[in-house]
Structure 1
């Protein structure tokens, strides 16, 4: 056993996982790509997607919602990660726990929780009505706003944790040197701290965006069928129409976009040391 590990670089240990990955992941992807050019190995399905305005609108809407979600996650996540770095060790542990604990709750449960909070008879609308801020319930769900709120809530840990790790590794002596040279707190942050953490922010934002373009449950529940995204259209094409060839073509486009974005993410992550 030791000889296999030393001479074969542990290949015997990796082989079972490699077989599972090939059978459960790579082969289905190849089959999907084959179906996307069915039945006669042509690009007819891709041409149909390019010519059909409805599918283009769904693709654009998916990327728009994902982009807004990414921006919201960054705007909320960066200050939170920055604040966490200035806490005491105990405070940091507590803050990290509050960020990580939502991972233990199902996405389905968290999406339904937002319906309870943001619905017409939800806690937010009832509070606003009781305070006379509004005179009738406002639409916070079953639209893009509700989808973006739900997706931001689910994805924000993916931007907070990497940013916190990058910020915690930052040499604080650089900030002290900037302050010693006469820089104000804002100048020290904007000219020293932020540029050093910007690569980590870019890498984390790309990770959030990649995750957002494939969301299904949250847009389906909080969008109320009114917010069309790629995953929801795939559900219709596979389970209701059905049109497996078009679904495979859309999936291939989504896969290509994800791979391209992941390449950018890896480049940004390598640059930031994540």
Structure 2
């Protein structure tokens, strides 16, 4: 009888599997190691302060929801909240109306595109405080605008422009305008030029091409710009405090006033409401038909 001797299994496949597993483990750990410093930074300087704020709103003077339950009956809070929403809405619409033509010109420009982009990004190189002071100089009683109107005797007396609701909306629109232009310009640049040529070849007029092709395809950038500008306008403080009307107090200004009075619990509750409003608007915008996908596409 012949005895068949079988060789022991080769350790090569086992070694390959082990090497593959180690390689996969390393590939999985590298992104985690790279993002760990950012995660720790966000945890220490963002998450913990937010949690501390929420706890303070519930623990001043005792553990309760009194600060939140009193807000629906607080006439001051309701008025301030309405002023904040109204100002944010007006500024968002103004930046959309003014920013879309600029974004369209930027997307179609060739040789002048760097110059247009530099003009758009110029406000980012200047502090918000400096820009607010500049608007105070322009809109003051003896500012440049009033002096320019008084010189040719277009007006008999200086117009009250500074410390008005209009001044707040103008200054905030100027500061937040780049946040609307850049997402729209990015969406317009991603539109295939052959689509416009095809529409023109099928008999569409330039106006019809814009309304039926360009505008619908650029809604991704418009959606992102609207959400971004509205959320930023909700928390604006410096500009409304400097150029706005003292009667049109925004929510961020009310929070600052309460902090100065050491009313920590009430100010923390107001801050939580402001944060919840911003997060709620983002969540609602992403769930609207077509807007959510457009918003995510524009941020890629």
- Superposed counterparts of 1:104-253, under 5 Å: 104-223=125-244, 225-239=246-260, 241-253=261-273
User: In the alignment, what sits opposite 1:29?
Assistant: 50
Label 1:52 to 1:273 Cα distance change in 2 as closer, same or farther (>3 A).
Answer: closer
User: In the alignment, what sits opposite 2:18?
Assistant: none
Q: Would you say the 8 A contact 1:219–1:229 is kept in 2?
A: yes
Does 2:77 align with 1:43? no
> Could you tell me which of 16, 24, 43 is aligned with 2:37?
16
Measure the CA separation in 2 of the matches of 1:18 and 1:273.
21
User: Cα deviation per residue 1:132-186 (whole Å; 9 max; x = unaligned)?
Assistant: 2221111222011000111001000001011111101111111111111111111
| TM norm structure 1 | 0.93
Structure 1 consecutive aligned stretches of length 4 or more whose deviation exceeds 4 Å: 2-5, 271-274
Measure the CA separation in 2 of the matches of 1:18 and 1:109.
32
Greater shift, 226-235 or 148-157, is seen at: 226-235
User: Cα deviation per residue 1:43-93 (whole Å; 9 max; x = unaligned)?
Assistant: 1101222111111100110010011000000010001101112211x3111
User: In the alignment, what sits opposite 2:77?
Assistant: 55
Q: Would you say the 8 A contact 2:91–2:172 is kept in 1?
A: yes
Considering only CA atoms, is the larger Rg found in Structure 1 or Structure 2? 2
Deviation at 1:4?
Answer: 7.5
Measure the CA separation in 2 of the matches of 1:117 and 1:15.
47
Name the structure, 1 or 2, with higher relative contact order (CA <8 Å, separation 6+). 1
Name the count of aligned residue pairs: 271
User: In the alignment, what sits opposite 1:259?
Assistant: 279
Measure the CA separation in 1 of the matches of 2:37 and 2:104.
42
Does 2:95 align with 1:73? yes
- Superposed counterparts of 1:85-104, under 5 Å: 85-88=107-110, 90-104=111-125
User: In the alignment, what sits opposite 2:295?
Assistant: 269
Deviation at 1:271?
Answer: 4.7
Deviation at 1:9?
Answer: 3.5
Label 1:63 to 1:7 Cα distance change in 2 as closer, same or farther (>3 A).
Answer: closer
User: Cα deviation per residue 1:98-124 (whole Å; 9 max; x = unaligned)?
Assistant: 111210101000000011111111111
Unaligned stretches of 5+ residues in structure 1: none
